[in-house]
Structure 1
């Protein structure tokens, strides 16, 4: 995971040096354990290792999504959504073996990126089969449905790094990050 983050850092240094310089340090093991305890989960090794590298990624839109949550925002987002955990789905959906279809929201879906409209990208710790634990899913508030994104965080971030390296992102100096940092917004090119 360190090599993957080194690729992301190098690409951001080229695209938006200000953003690269403002990347937060990694979370401590204690901070990771505290987040896990707050949510009652154990994060997969690739997620823990990623957060040891950087605790979030402000000012960078990953794909059409917002920035990677720092751990405290992950926990806050999870807490806000956990009130809906276990609710039945709004419609009858056939089990597909990829994502649980018997609930509208699972407490085992750990949001780590917001899409900004109520939708989130989640680490799936409650899949229908144990082999899929840690997969990345895209949950939509419209119809309360989830779709498959990647086998895990490593694969998800590898695709992001490849897009950065392929010059598919740009820094928009006219739009600043909404987090109050004043950083330019790094986003996909039109």
Structure 2
């Protein structure tokens, strides 16, 4: 994970040094364990490794999404959504073996990117089969549906790093409407 974050840091340092300078340091083992205790989960190793490199990524919209949450933001978002855990789905959906379809929200869906409209990108710790644990899913508040993104956070961040390296991102020095950090905003090119 350190090599992957080094790739991301290299490109951000070239295109927007201010964002690179503002990237938070990694979380400690104690901070990770505290968030796991709040949510009652053990995060996959790739998630733990990523957060040991950087505790969030402000000012950077990853893909068509938003910025990577800090651990505190992750726990706060999870707490807000936990009240809906286990609710039945709004409609009948056939089980597909990829994402649980018998519920509208699971306490095992750990949000790590908020879209801003109620949608979130999650680490799925409650998949229908054990081998899918840790996959990344995109959950939509419209119809309370989720769709598969990648096999895990590593693959998700590898796609982001590859897009950065392929010059698919641009910088909005004003920070844009998405940024409340005062930082320039890094986003996909139109």
TM-score normalized with structure 2 length: 0.98
Q: What is the CA-CA distance between 1:29 and the residue it aligns to?
A: 0.2
Give the match for residue 140 of structure 1.
Answer: 140
Give the match for residue 33 of structure 1.
Answer: 33
Give the match for residue 159 of structure 1.
Answer: 159
> The residue matched to 1:175 in structure 2 has which SS?
coil
Q: Distance in 1 between matches of 2:20 and 2:137?
A: 27
Q: What is the CA-CA distance between 1:178 and the residue it aligns to?
A: 4.8
Aligned in 2, Cα 1:138/1:99: closer, same or farther, shift over 3 Å?
A: same
Q: What is the CA-CA distance between 1:180 and the residue it aligns to?
A: 3.8
Does 2:3 match 1:8? no
Within 5 Å, give how 1:1-190 maps onto structure 2: 1-176=1-176, 178=178, 180-190=180-190
Q: Distance in 2 between matches of 1:175 and 1:58?
A: 11
Does the CA-based 8 Å contact 2:98-2:148 persist in structure 1? yes
> The residue matched to 2:157 in structure 1 has which SS?
helix
Q: What is the CA-CA distance between 1:181 and the residue it aligns to?
A: 2.6
Point out where structure 2 has 5 or more consecutive residues left out of the alignment: none
Does the CA-based 8 Å contact 1:138-1:148 persist in structure 2? yes
C-alpha RMSD of matched pairs (Å):
1.0
Number of positions where the alignment pairs a residue of Structure 1 with one of Structure 2 = 190
**After superposition, what is the alpha-carbon deviation per residue over 1:87-117, rounded to whole angstroms, capped at 9, x for unaligned?**
0000000000000000000000000001111
TM-score normalized with structure 1 length: 0.98
Q: What is the CA-CA distance between 1:64 and the residue it aligns to?
A: 1.2
